[in-house]
Amino acid sequence: MHYDERMSGDPSYLSAYREAVHQHGCEFESTLWANEKTQRVRFEVFARMCDLSCRRILDAGCSRGDLAAYLLENRIDYQHFIGLDAVGELIQFAQNRKLPRSEFHGGDFVTHPKLLQTGDPQVIVFCGSLNTMKLDTVIDVLDAAWRATRETLMFNFLSDCATEHAPRQTGPAYRLSTMVLLEWALDQSDHVAFRQDYFPHGHDATIRLDKASV
């Protein structure tokens, strides 16, 4: 498959997060989510689309560790949780939460994709962490994550199939080509799930793909 639509890479995919930390410290605003409700909706979709209990999970772009905290609050007893993030202050915040069966590591998985192998994960997730990347970078990251995961890869993104009533995205977050990402997933696996029904107007989408039926 050829990705002729891919745009050039953007080395500034981390700058918005660093600026948010500079302005807000490690408060919720540093995640760049609109509010805690929309963050939790995305977490709920992950938990419904994939049984995360008793699994080794790697959260690529974990920010403050909010996904691990959500899973614990909802008694989803993962085996082990590994968080990766390139913004050091956010990793320090996550480490200081001392969440059980969890560890958090600093590093840029875009420039160092072998980080995605940390802890031999069964499930790798990207929750919002692809939003500031251009499409070619996203494809490269997903390729590396698919090689690294034992079983499942799951990611959300801002869908370009949203209606005209969806919020406009003019940066630092971008809408990505839903059809290109679906085709990429189907090229990797014949076990793919897709959802774009959890926000009005198709604002956000989630894809899960498995290496085998699990």
DSSP character for 77? -
CA pseudo-torsion sign 79, 41, 203, 174: negative
Q: Which two tokens stand for residue 163?
A: 């209606």
Instruction: State how far Cα 57 lies from the chain centre.
Output: 12
The amino acid at residue 20 is A
User: Tokens 């929309």 correspond to what residue?
Assistant: 38
Helix, strand, or coil (residue 15): helix
Per-residue pLDDT reduced to its tens digit, 70-88: 999 999 999 999 999 999 9
What pLDDT sits at residue 9?
36
Q: Write down all domains in the chain, each with its CATH number in brackets.
A: 15-210 (3.40.50.150)
Contact (CB, 8 A) for 194 and 207:
yes
Counting as low any pLDDT under 70, the low residues of the chain are 1-11, 213-214
Global pTM?
A: 0.91
Q: What pLDDT is attached to residue 1? A: 33
* Burial group, residue 121, by CB count within 10 angstroms (0-12, 13-18, 19+): buried
* Residue 59 structure tokens: 């959260």
Place of tokens 């079983």: 151
Residues 6+ apart with CB under 8 A from 91: 62, 83, 85, 104, 105, 106
